[in-house]
Amino acid sequence: MYFGLGWQHILNWQAYDHILFLAALCGIYLISDWKKVLILVTAFTIGHSLTLALSVINVFTLSSNWIEFFIPLTIVATAGIHIARKRTFNKKIDFTYLLTLFFGLIHGLGFSNYLKSLLGKNDNLIIQLFAFNLGIEIGQIVIVILVLLTSFIVVSILRIQKREWHLFLSSVIFGIALMMAIQRYPCF
């Protein structure tokens, strides 16, 4: 049951902020860059799995209004970094991996509010938390594959310049996420 809830949560169009984040994160890569994407998605997974667990067991909490504001800021930052880069990516491990881990911490808090509302006071918390997180991960893999396939089609088949595609995609995502952040600012 919780696996399905995690899967449905990440693939739900109402949770498009998570889809936008993954598109911003992976949209500058092609299928041939799968190792870099794997490292990025793993860093994100570690971050959100950690705060998901800590928040669900009430070790760490933050106001949902602030979480919902910070999530689009992570998207703005990710897309902004890609826009500002002169090249599409570095060959070496850079701060992007650490930043992605940190952003995963923020997104995990967003997932935790949803999960906490479902769990209540259950005895099988670890199993349910694992199943929910696994469902989210499978959903994320689907999104990442779709983003990589889209980039492949645009760059390899439609012959759009790789840098032009990255600038276009990152700019669109940046604009959408900035509007989300403004709308979600807790004082409005």
Question: What SS3 state is found at 136?
Answer: helix
Question: What digits encode the pLDDT tens for the residues 169-182?
Answer: 999 999 999 999 99
Terminal-residue alpha carbon distance, the chain: 36
Please state the domain count of the chain.
Answer: 1
Question: What digits encode the pLDDT tens for the residues 69-111?
Answer: 999 999 999 999 999 987 645 555 567 889 999 999 998 888 7
Q: Which range of residues forms the domain containing residue 134?
A: 2-184
Given pLDDT bands bounded at 50, 70 and 90, which one contains residue 187? confident
pLDDT confidence of residue 74: 96
Given pLDDT bands bounded at 50, 70 and 90, which one contains residue 63? confident
Query: Considering only 50-59, 60-69, 78-87, 110-119, which range has the smallest mean pLDDT?
Result: 110-119
- Which range scores top for mean pLDDT: 73-77, 135-139, 140-144? 73-77
Amino acid identity at 66: W
